[in-house]
Amino acid sequence: MKNQKDYSVGEFILRENDVADCAYVIMSGEVGIYKNGLKGKIIPLAVLKAGEYLGELGVVTGQTRTAEAIALTPVSVVRITKGILEDELSKAPAWVAALLLGLIERLVRADELLRKHQTSDEILLQKIEPVVKNTLLVSKKKAAG
């Protein structure tokens, strides 16, 4: 499939503050979603699996990415561009699009609250943090030499 992409363990799928040009549907593997907190603290948000999606907020709202997404296992995703999403939404009844936009507004507000309070889920942290730290360590070693 031409819109399919594979990621290795520790490879970033999304980076916080990047331009949101598409969403992804996970076909296989696990993806860790987290935010960067104060003083390098990792704030875990979720572990997503096959059949789940990520990156949809920015595509719909036009905002930049609000979190980081990293492959916790080998991952395969299908890319859904804004054009594809808009085309599919135009086929749905108007109330479906209104419902979707309302839900997204709520998620954006929840994200803003999360940024203010910077809470953490220790179980998710245990799963996501080692992969992130290892990836950052490898990146520093490559940069050094």
Q: Which of 10-14, 35-39, 111-115, 120-124 has the highest mean pLDDT?
A: 10-14
Residue 85 has pLDDT above 60, yes or no: yes
Over residues 39-72, the pLDDT tens digits come to 778 888 889 999 999 998 888 888 889 899 999 9
Token reading at 13: 């799928």
Out of 22-26, 37-41, 92-96, which region has the weakest mean confidence (pLDDT)? 37-41
Average pLDDT score over residue span 108-134: 73
CA dist 17 and 134 (Å) reads 22
Share of the chain above pLDDT 90, in %: 34
Higher pLDDT, 110 or 117: 110
Residue 1 has pLDDT above 70, yes or no: no
Domains contained in the chain, CATH given: 4-138 (2.60.120.10)
Q: What kind and span of H or E run contains 60?
A: helix 56-61
- pLDDT value for 72: 95
**Cβ atoms of 48 and 30 closer than 8 Å:** yes
- pLDDT value for 59: 84
**Cβ atoms of 21 and 3 closer than 8 Å:** no
Q: Which of 44-48, 56-60, 114-118, 132-136 has the highest mean pLDDT?
A: 44-48
Higher pLDDT, 125 or 85: 85
CA dist 104 and 53 (Å) reads 14
